[in-house]
Amino acid sequence: MSPRNSKKTEIFLANITSLSHEGRGVTTLHGKTTFLQGGLMDEEVEFHYIKFRNKFDEGQVVRVLKASPHRVLPRCEHYGVCGGCSLQHMDDEMQLQVKQAALLEQLEHFGHLKPESILSPLCGVTWGYRRKARLGVKFVNKKNKLLIGFRERNSSYLADIHRCHVLHPDIGFKLDVLAELIASLQGYQQIPQIEIAVGDTGSALIFRHLQDLTADDLQKLHHFAVLHHYHLYLQPGGPETIHRLYPDDREEYYLSYQLPVHSIELLFHPTDFIQVNAEINQKMVDLAIDLLSPSRDEDILDLFCGLGNFTLPLARYCKTVTGVEGDAMMVKRAYQNAVHNDLHNVDFYCGNLFAIDENQVWLQKSYDKILLDPPRTGALALLPYLNKLQAKQIVYVSCNPATLARDAGILVSQGYRLAKVGIMNMFPHTQHVESIALFER
């Protein structure tokens, strides 16, 4: 009988022969590749099918008959239901191997490249590391319960969880009290999400609400923020409507984080983009500076600079740094951080880095070295202009190995060589692969 004609609950047997670049087990059944969530290489498992596709099928492991030595007991009791993590059944060593293999495979497949040298993985704490997240909120009538957290795996429904081990403990171990607070509000059904941000010395919560909150609800939220030492924001509409309820909104206040090796403190608003893993971010900045080896007579360009995460520490070691960012508010924050750190050899420009204007001021300058940290879509539109700038070194920080591989192939065709590449474990227990590469002309 074809699996397509089977019931969703019917159990099948499989021997897993390899792992996909997302960390799923791979087997072949009925002449067709099947990807199995929760499976590891060389395991014998029982599974049921989740989806049938033209070229491959997908399944979920329900029982392990012969376990891999790399299998571990997931720490989180909600693992397998919550979609926040996908690799908790895999030990740390294997997680790193899977991510490094995915990076090298993508470089060879999309860029037709092999790096001259592979950097040791950047690693840090693997639990309680996540300091930025957006949590869903919903009261479920069938359960008579308010849920708060991430979506279920392969579903649009919220997972029924009461704690999260990857979120910073100031948030992850307080999901129950957050749910209790929201359930006590008159407007509990009008709060669809909470955005969280954690700095070195404080945490912030942004409550999205679809209707005005009552005076009693506002008082409860204020009391909760005082009791748990949160900075609490409200968002009644779009991002421009975000305002602070506690502490007093009349006073300017920012979260912050340190880059201690470089004596830098970066201020940020809870909605600003920052790297989610504080320890890996510190090590990443250190590594990027080490790879670029800036000197006092060099001018450096930092593209997709954000609030100055790389720009400002680089400014400690070179003649000038020019940062370019597409978000005007982030450019403003970067200037603010330059002043805060008493740095005067930096310039920032707001410019669209996906549709380049050749007349932009920053393109009229010359640079010795370049750092870029693009979003998942990569830096394709920038590459012709990077070629014209003729910088002797480029450090490329990537959150998507496929677009890094594509861009790397183009950079090599322009006269660069891929000298070094390595992964950074920014998101332990997930399939996300962060990497860093050094190109030399």
Helix 215-228 and helix 175-183, axial crossing angle in degrees, nearest 10: 160
Which 8-state DSSP code applies to residue 189?
G
The radius of gyration of the chain's CA atoms, rounded to the nearest angstrom, is 24
Mark whether 218 and 176 lie in a shared domain: yes
Per DSSP, the residues of 112-173 read ----SEEPPPB----SS-B-EEEEEEEEETTTTEEEEEPBBTTSSSBP--S--SSB-HHHHT
Exposure b/e, 158-188, CB count within 10 A at least 16 = b: bbebebbbbbbebbbebbeebbebbeebebb
Mark whether 233 and 158 lie in a shared domain: yes
Mark whether 307 and 404 lie in a shared domain: yes
Mark whether 395 and 352 lie in a shared domain: yes
Mark whether 182 and 311 lie in a shared domain: no
Distance CA 320, CA 391 (A): 14
Mark whether 350 and 227 lie in a shared domain: no
pLDDT computed for residue 247 by the predictor: 93
Residue type, 224: F
Catalytic residue among 76, 85, 318, 399: 399
Among this protein's residues, is 85 annotated catalytic? no
Mark whether 65 and 152 lie in a shared domain: no
Distance CA 130, CA 168 (A): 5
User: Among residues 326, 376, 330, which one has the least CA distance to residue 354?
Assistant: 326
Please give the residue range of the domain that contains residue 222: 132-246
Q: How far is CA 337 from CA 223, 278, 308, in A?
A: 32, 18, 7
pLDDT computed for residue 166 by the predictor: 97
Distance CA 325, CA 322 (A): 10
DSSP helix/strand/coil, 328: helix
Distance CA 65, CA 41 (A): 13
Q: Are strands 320-325 and 346-350 parallel, antiparallel or unpaired?
A: parallel
Residue 270 lies in a domain: no
**Which pTM does this prediction carry?**
0.94
Instruction: Scan for tokens 């699996």, then name that residue.
Output: 3
Residue 251 lies in a domain: no
CATH number of the CATH domain containing 39: 2.40.50.140
Mark whether 309 and 403 lie in a shared domain: yes
Backbone angles phi and psi of 163, in degrees to 5: -155, 160
Residue 161 lies in a domain: yes
Distance CA 45, CA 63 (A): 6
Angle CA 219–222–227, to nearest 5:
125
Residue 266 lies in a domain: no
Mark whether 417 and 290 lie in a shared domain: yes
Mark whether 291 and 430 lie in a shared domain: yes
Mark whether 411 and 334 lie in a shared domain: yes
Residue type, 225: A
- Helices vs strands, H then E, count in the chain: 9, 22
Residue 345 lies in a domain: yes
| pLDDT tens track, the chain, 441 positions | 567 666 667 999 999 999 998 899 999 998 899 999 999 999 999 999 999 999 999 999 999 999 999 999 999 999 999 999 999 999 999 999 999 999 999 999 999 999 999 999 999 999 999 999 999 999 999 999 999 999 998 889 999 999 999 999 999 999 999 999 999 999 999 999 999 999 998 999 999 999 999 999 999 999 999 999 999 999 999 999 999 999 987 677 899 999 999 999 999 999 999 999 999 999 999 999 999 999 999 999 999 999 999 999 999 999 999 999 999 999 999 999 999 999 999 999 999 999 999 999 999 999 999 999 999 999 999 999 999 999 999 999 999 999 999 999 999 999 999 999 999 999 999 999 999 999 999
Which 8-state DSSP code applies to residue 141?
T
CATH number of the CATH domain containing 405: 3.40.50.150
Q: Are strands 203-208 and 230-235 parallel, antiparallel or unpaired?
A: parallel
Distance CA 42, CA 47 (A): 15
Distance CA 247, CA 225 (A): 9
**Domain count within the chain:** 3
Q: Do 334 and 325 form a contact (C-beta atoms < 8 A)?
A: yes
Residue 185 lies in a domain: yes
Residue 16 lies in a domain: yes
Helix 401-413 and helix 92-111, axial crossing angle in degrees, nearest 10: 40
pLDDT computed for residue 9 by the predictor: 72
Mark whether 321 and 380 lie in a shared domain: yes
- Looking at 71, 89, 111, which one is the last position of a domain? 71
pLDDT computed for residue 253 by the predictor: 81
Residue 260 lies in a domain: no
Half-sphere exposure (CA, 13 Å, Cβ side) for 134?
Answer: 7
